[in-house]
Structures are given as C-alpha cells and as structure tokens.
C-alpha cells in the first residue's frame, strides 16, 4: 500500500456517517465501515486525529428551536452526544486492533480523557488514533469549527471533511442539477461565494494557519486513502 503524503491528518466525521440515511442513532454496520476506513488510513502511515459530530443523535441549534430550551443547554447536550459517538468508534477500532484514545473538551472521566494538547500529541506520536470529542467545550460553536481549531492546535498537515457528497459544489446538487463541482477552490472563494460546505469560521481558521482541506464522500471506496496519497479526489480548499 502506498504511503501517505502527510505526516499527520485530522478527519472530520459527521454524525450522519454513523447511521443509515434519514435515520438516527448508531448503526452497527455503518460504524464498522467507518472503523475499517480509518484502519486503512492508519496503515498508510500518518498520525490520525478524528473529530466527530453528533447529528445522528442531536443538533443543538435545531433542538433548542424545536423543544424551546436555551441554546446553551442544547449545545452542551450536543457535545455530550459527540462523546457517545466517539466511545462507540473507539471500541470498534480497538476490536480491529487499532489503539485508540478518546479525549474530550468536556470532562467525563469515567469513559474518556480530558483534551490536553501535549497529551494528545503524545498519543499521536505513539501511533494511537485520537478521537476528539465534546466539540470546543463551548456553546455556539459547531464541530466543523472544532475540527479547524484542533487541526491548528495539533499542527496537522491536512484536514479531511468526510461528507455524503462528492465535494464542494457551486450550489446544492440535490436542488440544482446544474451545480458545478469544484476540483480546487481557494479559502477566499469559499467565503466570497458563501458556500455552505463548512462554517466560515472554520474556513478562516484553516486559511490563517495554512491548513489545506479536502472535502470528499466518505462512502466512496478508497476516497480517503487516495486523498492522503496525494491523488485528486473530492475538492481541495487551499
């Protein structure tokens, strides 16, 4: 297997990748599929950090609107939901033989470690996958922003946003049959065109720290492996 072009990568997984389309919760087969994809990534040599979302369980902003509870509380509930996903992924990876640690911005000492930059770097250097849960630990920030923040803190060489679409489009491909798929686009153009693939705060943070982003479809076989080998896949934002 070809080696990675990158020494350290951060993979951003949406909560929806843990369940079947249109459903909620954690689907066992989807979970195993994600774990196998990560194993394939690890075998190519890079140090691997992962940030997980929680859309398969709860979205703080929407939940706050639907249930009429304070946004602060709803966002903290969403952060706790990311820990559920992280622990499920950790157990699945370790059953496959991959040492893994969950580090959370919110302390839940019974099941995971507190996120500390130096500790996380030590885990990465020792070949352990680090799953970074609990978002940023603050309300009003998405897990995309968390991914950009952790990528900056950990000096990663590449941020991969794994989605259910092929990359960054000029408009929503599900609503516009003429939507154009960009093979490469600048941070500035993402912001100017108001493209919704990631929060603009995340794009700005990656631009400031010169971290390239690849947006790709996680459900397409070998996409992530191709990306870290430097092959053209999805959309490169740089």
pLDDT in tens, 192-217: 999 989 999 999 999 999 999 999 99
Secondary structure class of 145 (helix, strand, coil): helix
Q: Which residues pair with 11 in a beta bridge?
A: 50, 160
Instruction: Give the right CATH number for 8-237 from 3.40.1160.10, 3.10.20.30, 3.40.718.10, 1.10.10.60.
Output: 3.40.1160.10
Q: For residue 162, give the nearest of 78, 53, 89, 67 by alpha carbon.
A: 53
Checking if the pLDDT of 169 tops 90, the result is yes
Q: For residue 146, give the nearest of 68, 26, 60 by alpha carbon.
A: 60
Tokens 């950009």 sit on residue: 148
Q: For position 147, what pLDDT does the model report? A: 98
Q: For position 59, what pLDDT does the model report? A: 87
Q: For position 165, what pLDDT does the model report? A: 87
Q: Which residues pair with 104 in a beta bridge?
A: 114, 133
Q: What are the tens digits of pLDDT across the range 40-89?
A: 999 999 999 999 999 999 888 888 889 889 999 999 999 999 999 999 99
DSSP state, residue 197: S
> So where are the chain's domains?
8-237
Give backbone dihedrals phi and psi of 67, rounded to 5 degrees, phi first. -100, -10
Residues 157, 209: contact at Cβ < 8 Å? no
Residues 226, 209: contact at Cβ < 8 Å? no
Q: What are the tens digits of pLDDT across the range 84-115?
A: 999 999 999 999 999 999 999 999 999 999 99
Tell me the whole-structure pTM to 2 decimals. Answer: 0.94
Rounded to an integer, the average pLDDT of 32-36 is 95
């Amino acid at each position: 297997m070809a080696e990675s072009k990158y020494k350290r990568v951060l993979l951003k997984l949406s909560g929806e990748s843990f369940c079947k389309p249109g459903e909620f919760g954690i689907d066992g087969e989807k979970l195993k599929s994600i774990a196998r994809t990560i194993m394939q990534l690890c075998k190519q040599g890079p140090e691997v950090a992962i940030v997980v979302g929680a859309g398969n369980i709860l979205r703080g902003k929407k939940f706050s609107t639907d249930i009429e509870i304070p946004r602060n509380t709803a966002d903290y509930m969403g952060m706790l939901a990311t820990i559920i996903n992280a622990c499920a992924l950790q157990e699945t990876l370790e059953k496959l033989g991959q040492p893994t640690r969950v580090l959370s911005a919110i302390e839940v000492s019974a099941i995971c470690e507190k996120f500390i930059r130096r500790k996380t770097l030590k885990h990465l250097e020792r070949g352990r996958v680090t799953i970074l849960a609990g978002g940023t630990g603050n309300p009003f920030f998405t897990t995309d922003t968390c991914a950009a923040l952790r990528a900056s803190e950990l000096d990663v060489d590449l941020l991969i946003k794994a989605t259910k679409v092929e990359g960054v489009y000029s408009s929503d491909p599900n609503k516009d049959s003429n939507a154009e798929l960009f093979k490469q686009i600048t941070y500035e153009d993402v912001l100017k065109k108001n493209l919704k693939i990631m929060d603009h705060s995340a794009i700005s943070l990656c631009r400031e720290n010169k971290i390239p982003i690849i947006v790709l479809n996680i459900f397409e076989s070998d996409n992530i492996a191709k990306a870290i080998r430097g092959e053209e896949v999805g959309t490169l934002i740089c």
